Amino acid sequence: MVDAETEVPRKTDLPTRKIGGSVVRIKNLALVIGTRPQILKSVPIIHAASRSKRIRLSVIHTGQHYDYEMSRVFFSEFNLPKPSFNLRVGPGTHVKQIADIMCRLERHLHEMRPDWVLVPGDTNSALAAGLAASKLGFAVAHIEAGARSYDMSMPEEVNRRLLDHLSGLLFAPTATCAKNLVLEGIPRSRTIRSGDTMFDLFQKYRHKMLSSDIVERQGLANSRYVFVTVHRQSNIETRKALADIARAILDVKEVMFVMPVHPHTRARMEEFGIYRKLSSANNIKLTGPLGYFETIRLITSARLVMTDSGGLQKEAFWAGTPCVTLRDTTEWTETIECGANTLTGVDGNRMVAAIRRSLSCQPRIGWKSSLFGNGQAARKIIATLEKR
């Protein structure tokens, strides 16, 4: 990756191209990412942009997820070019991360003078990029706009609301998301119902995902198991919440649990004396962070997904695997309304009851994946940006 101090080409240096008898200036797009979910949302965008004759896309990585296994491994999995720049912000509080990204990004945006700054998702990197671009007078396009949990205690909810109201183009993944934007007074002319780029990814690579041998390597080929992820700040930063989740898992002894552990989650587990209890249980397999294909294979073969992740709720839905969400709200209400997802918070009794109820139900319910588009969201986004 290129260091944050490396010179970048100016907008005036961009070439033109003759298309259909006309000379067209190639549009300059800056895509800002910083976390694993943002990389996944962006893979189809990067691929679609690479096929466009009218667009040059530069990828800027903020370094919000600074651990190699938590971020850069995805570039290898999807054969993506390395980001043009890495801002290397690293860990820190929400305020510090956002401030550092804005300050380090400013010079690059000044030099690049992009036609559009693309910000996927609802992370600190997304908000910082949107704010910096807006303050500098560059147009912002928000990918995955309109998602709402209506829980303002979630940092992600604050981020996405602010982003939606400062963006010039809003790419809504579902009809519900588009409706949310209208209800908040955002002009319809700024909203495009594009579909979900993560669904693009799921559709395109599903065959490759299913070829992963992670289930066999983990000795799960003939087992009923629950796939578990926990990483949300509200669930791991307090001893009680993390202990309640662990207790619910330990109480359900009739099924295997497979749990990839985020480095920050593991640090909190070890601090609170929880990691040793889980690792010593006979029906729990703890692993390090997994790649995308391994994760989807485990989700697809599981009887149940148990998570506090927004992305995994959707992936479980697309795979036809029931989900128990360890939150009191979700931005993906479509999954609740069709019975694919259950909210439990971190209440021990509710978690155990939901796990057992889901395990006793017939798996592989046929949910409508078309709620999230037709697998062509990235193509629609790039075509829109070409015209705008």
Q: Residue 39's pLDDT band (boundaries 50, 70, 90)?
A: very high
Active site residues: 231
- Looking at every residue in the chain, the average pLDDT score rounds to 91
State residue 23 phi and psi, 5-degree precision.
-90, 120
Q: What is the mean pLDDT of residues 225-242?
A: 95
- DSSP designation for 89: -
The residues, ordered by sequence, that sit 6+ positions from 46 with a Cβ below 8 Å of its Cβ are 31, 57, 59, 80, 81
- Is the model more confident about 363 or about 330? 330
Residue with tokens 């995994």: 312
**Please, which residues have CB within 8 angstroms of residue 136's CB and are 6 or more apart in sequence?**
106, 109, 110
Residue 137, helix vs strand vs coil: coil
Residue spans per domain, the chain: 11-196+373-387, 206-371
Tell me, yes or no, if the two domains 11-196+373-387 and 206-371 fold the same way: yes
What's the pLDDT score for residue 363? Answer: 57
Least confident range from 38-52, 271-285, 354-368: namely 354-368
pLDDT in tens, 89-137: 988 899 999 999 999 999 999 999 999 999 999 999 999 999 999 999 9
Cα separation of 162 and 382, whole Å? Answer: 23
pLDDT of residue 142: 98
Which helix (H) or strand (E) segment holds residue 133: the answer is helix 124-136
DSSP 354-365: HHHHHHHS-S--
Domain 206-371 carries which CATH code?
3.40.50.2000
Domain 11-196+373-387 has CATH 3.40.50.850: no
Q: What is the per-residue pLDDT for 245?
A: 97
Question: Which residues, including other chains, have CB under 8 Å from residue 143's CB and lie 6 or more apart?
Answer: 41, 42, 45, 118, 119, 120, 121, 171, 194, 197, 381
Q: What confidence tens digit (pLDDT) does each residue in 287-317 have?
A: 998 989 999 999 999 999 999 999 999 999 9
pLDDT at position 20, please?
Answer: 66
Give the dihedral sign, CA 160/165/171/176. positive
Lowest mean pLDDT among 150-164, 267-281, 364-378: 364-378
Task: Collapse the DSSP code of 166 into the 3-class scheme (helix H, G, I; strand E, B; otherwise coil) and give the result.
Answer: helix
The encoded tokens of residue 109 equal 């945006």
Q: Single out the residue of 277, 235, 234, 236 nearest to residue 257, CA to CA.
A: 277
Find all residues with CB under 8 Å of 267, minimum gap 6, and list them. Answer: none
Task: Compute the average pLDDT of residues 59-78.
Answer: 78
Distance between CA atoms of residues 353 and 351, nearest Å: 6
Q: pTM here? A: 0.91
